[in-house]
Structure 1
Amino acid sequence: MNICVFLSAADLDERYTGPAREFATLLGKGGHTLVWGGSDVGLMKVVADGVQEAGGRLVGVSVDFLAATARANADEMVVARDLGERKALLLAKSDAVVVMVGGTGTLDEATEVLELRKHGKHTKPVVLLNTAGFYDGLKTQFRRMEDEGFLPLPLTELVFFAEDGVAALAYLEESAGIR
């Protein structure tokens, strides 16, 4: 399965890098392909290293202004003109989406894919990997949106919140009929 992972390119604390490395190892050992922003820095590097070391493939989609940080030894690397094209290519090349910890860019990617899913323009499973409770506040906000009628479909049909990589991958494999 080609799994798009939206995540930070920042250097982060072990409470985030450890679980990210574990998830990456699960992806690689499971024979999955990581489809990611292509950067060879920060958490993006940690995940790409883990997937590659465990035998998985790497498909990167960088963007012109970040091409200098693109991973040189990815199995495939595409350079998009802008962030909009990058997001579209990431989704087109994937069978599922996992959102890991990140900043405004990751949040932008997550909300765009959820908006597309809400309108039926994207039907691939989406997981928010809630490492160290990072997305607890967002989960609360989504529940409020659902309770107050802002979501046209149940939250459980929009996104799956996983507390760890094992639960995230199990959900994706079950959604894809693997196992």
Structure 2
Amino acid sequence: MKSIVVYCGSNPGVNPAYREAARKLGEQFAEKEIRLIYGGGNIGLMGAIADTVLSNGGEVTGVIPNFLAALEVAHNTLTELHFVETMHERKFKMVQLAKAVIALPGGYGTFDELFEILTWRQLKLYEGPIGLLNINGFYDLLLQQLDRMVDDGFLKAENRELLIVAETAEELLAKIEAVWEQEV
């Protein structure tokens, strides 16, 4: 079974398209027997994708810091739940368990996680594919900023290409699976 980390909001967002996309990705994970690795929460897009994977017979591993679990946001019906002390330990543990990373819409935490894993990939500290599910154009302005960083000489074009972008779960997983197939 392959595994993919999903970074996403602990809030659902105001547009129902975000929750629906998280559910569709969760259905795809269960159908393709991909284990979900995520932040271990039971709220927002995190809860939506985890619940969907589980309700469709898939496996879910959560990694949550003790202070967040104490706030009663830990999802207690997962296949596996790891408790850690810090946010840094959480991020490190999650990518240790995964063969790829996908970011859905989210806030500061999602952006922090996405840019840290892109930096690790650029520095060859992480080798898996990194995908961005650009639901409803959520990441359009970020993608423009990345292109500007290339144009202005702050980001190498080959490092810009480390981010795989798609608008649907099916398309993004197909692109990630193509990368996995190249590894074999």
TM-score by length of 1: 0.95
SS of the equivalent of 1:70 reads: coil
The answer to whether structure 1 residue 85 and structure 2 residue 89 are counterparts is yes
* Residue identity in the other structure for 2:94: L
Please name the residue that 1:45 is paired with. 47
2:146·2:160 contact (CA, 8 Å) conserved in 1?
A: no
**Match in the other structure for 1:27:** 29
Deviation of 1:147 after TM superposition, in Å, equals 2.0
Which residue of structure 2 aligns with residue 113 of structure 1? 117
1:127 aligns with 131
1:2-41 CA distance string (max 9 Å, x none):
0000001113331211111111101111111000000011
CA offsets per residue over residues 15-74 of structure 1, 9 Å max, x none? 211111111101111111000000011111110011112221000001111112111111
What residue is the counterpart of 1:64 in the other structure? 66
Flag as ranges the 4+ runs of structure 1 deviating above 3 A.
none
- Residue 138 of structure 1: which of 136, 142, 160 is its match? 142
Gaps of 5+ in 1: none
Aligned residues: 178
The RMSD of aligned alpha carbons is 1.4
Offset, 1:155: 4.4
Tell me if structure 1 keeps the 8 A contact 2:40–2:64.
yes
Structure 2 distance, partners of 1:156, 1:169, is 19
Matched, 1:2 2:3: yes
Q: 1:157 to 1:123 in 2, by over 3 A?
A: farther
Deviation at 1:161, TM superposition (A): 1.0
Asked whether the equivalents of residues 4 and 94 of structure 1 are also in contact (C-alpha less than 8 Å), the reply is: yes
Query: What is the Cα deviation at residue 156 of structure 1?
Result: 5.3
- Secondary structure of 2:161's counterpart equals helix
Deviations 1:76-111 (A, max 9, x none): 111110101100001101100000000000000001
Question: What letter matches 1:64 in structure 2?
Answer: N
Which residue identity is paired with 2:90?
A: R
